[in-house]
């Protein structure tokens, strides 16, 4: 039996540019590429994705909204999507998006399949003085007494009784022990300000001009295991992070703890952001989860 993926000990955030698919003209291909990104976020248990403006002086809110809509749609369990999104032009090609199949995307949709202790995502479909009705993806909404949440609000519940009328309680995401998807955040601030105003205790920038990962690996992994709020940043199709940060009058080294290159001697002229995302998260995942402890870090020698 496949074990459910536990949460990371740290909060892992990823920052991607608003123009991430600006070099792709057709909506279908844009949707497909963002779907590739959404899969990476889920595969490697990213907690938060930040979509930042990467061209100063240009209104990129439309691009940010589009990327956010696709990623949020992917993260939402299938049984809630119609209620949460409805009909939107940005979702015209949503049918080609790959499923995440994460723990909060259950495949069973019958009351008889619910088990005590199970967590489910739901949406409030009715509220009255007695409590709320929550759609959790089974035949009938579950009644939760004594709480009042606005209709249309997405909530997380824990099943406390089984049978024809299963019971549930509302819970915070902190109470869910397994990986429960990613949060999508649109930032109006450029990347440098995001880093400066954030509470990140480790910031990793990715660049073809960065240090080869192997040279800084030991130091980076030591910092990783001591950190609680990690941010990994990525550049755009037309500008690397050095150029993006310099628009703010900053240097990348001023706002990053490490600038790494995980694809040394790349044979292509450019590496797409989604390709860099997979390469970076994959190598960090191998070295940090779940067997690479502090004792193992010092054993590496190259």
Q: How does pLDDT run across 14-50, given as a tens digit for each residue?
A: 999 999 998 898 999 999 999 999 999 999 999 999 9
Q: What's the pLDDT score for residue 225?
A: 93
Confidence of residue 291 (pLDDT cuts 50, 70, 90): low
Q: How far apart are CA 157 and CA 159, in angstroms?
A: 7
Q: How far apart are CA 80 and CA 74, in angstroms?
A: 11
Residue 258 CB partners (closer than 8 Å, separation 6+): 203, 204, 205, 210, 211, 216, 219, 220, 223
Residues 48/14, Cβ–Cβ less than 8 Å: yes
Q: Count each helix (H run) and each strand (E run) in the chain, helices first.
A: 9, 11
Q: Which of 72, 43, 53, 60 is nearest to 15 (CA)?
A: 53
CATH-assigned architecture of domain 111-175 = Beta Barrel (2.40)
Q: Which of 48, 42, 8 is nearest to 183 (CA)?
A: 48
Q: Which pTM does this prediction carry?
A: 0.92
Give me the residue spans of the domains in the chain. 11-101+190-292, 111-175
pLDDT for 292 beyond 50: no
Kindly state the average pLDDT of the residues 249-275.
92
Same fold, 11-101+190-292 and 111-175: no
Q: What's the pLDDT score for residue 267?
A: 86
Kindly state the average pLDDT of the residues 240-257.
97
Q: What's the pLDDT score for residue 84?
A: 94
Q: How far apart are CA 18 and CA 189, in angstroms?
A: 12
Q: How many other C-beta atoms can be found within 10 angstroms of the C-beta atom of residue 139?
A: 9
Strand residues in the chain grouped as ranges (E):
11-17, 48-52, 119-128, 131-135, 142-145, 154-161, 167-170, 183-186, 202-212, 229-233, 258-261
pLDDT for 294 beyond 80: no
Residue 256 CB partners (closer than 8 Å, separation 6+): 195, 203, 204, 205, 233
Q: What is 11-101+190-292's CATH number, 3.40.50.150, 3.40.50.10310, 3.90.226.10, 3.40.1280.10?
A: 3.40.1280.10
pLDDT for 212 beyond 80: yes
pLDDT for 222 beyond 90: yes
Give whole-number Cα distances, 6 to 171, 182, 247, in Å: 17, 14, 39
Give the end-to-end CA distance of the chain in Å, rounded to a whole number.
37
The predicted-structure confidence for 161-170, as pLDDT tens digits, reads as follows 998 899 999 9
Q: How far apart are CA 85 and CA 203, in angstroms?
A: 33
């Amino acid at each position: 039996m496949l074990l459910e993926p536990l949460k990371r000990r740290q909060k892992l955030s990823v920052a991607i540019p608003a123009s991430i698919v600006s070099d792709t003209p057709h909506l279908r291909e844009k949707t497909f590429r963002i779907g590739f990104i959404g899969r990476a976020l889920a595969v490697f248990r990213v907690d938060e994705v930040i979509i930042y403006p990467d061209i100063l002086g240009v209104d990129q809110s439309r691009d940010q909204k589009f990327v956010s809509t696709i990623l949020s749609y992917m993260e939402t369990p299938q049984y809630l999507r119609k209620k949460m999104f409805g009909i939107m032009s940005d979702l015209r090609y949503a049918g080609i998006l790959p499923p995440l199949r994460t723990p909060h995307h259950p495949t069973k949709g019958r009351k008889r399949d619910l088990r005590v202790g199970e967590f489910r995502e739901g949406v409030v479909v009715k509220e009255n003085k007695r409590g709320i009705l929550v759609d959790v993806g089974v035949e009938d909404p579950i009644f939760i007494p004594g709480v009042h949440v606005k209709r249309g609000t997405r909530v997380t519940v824990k099943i406390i009784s089984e049978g024809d009328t299963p019971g549930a309680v509302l819970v915070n995401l902190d109470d869910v022990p397994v990986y429960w998807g990613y949060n999508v955040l649109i930032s109006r601030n450029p990347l440098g300000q995001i880093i400066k105003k954030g509470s990140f205790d480790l910031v990793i920038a990715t660049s073809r001009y960065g240090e080869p990962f192997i040279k800084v690996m030991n130091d980076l992994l030591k910092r990783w295991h001591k950190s609680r709020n990690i941010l990994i940043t990525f550049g755009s199709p037309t500008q690397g992070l050095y150029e993006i940060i310099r628009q703010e009058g900053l240097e990348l080294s001023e706002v990053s703890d490490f600038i790494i290159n995980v694809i040394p001697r790349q044979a292509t002229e450019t590496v797409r952001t989604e390709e860099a995302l997979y390469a970076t998260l994959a190598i960090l995942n191998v070295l940090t989860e779940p067997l690479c402890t502090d004792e193992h870090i010092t054993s590496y020698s190259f």
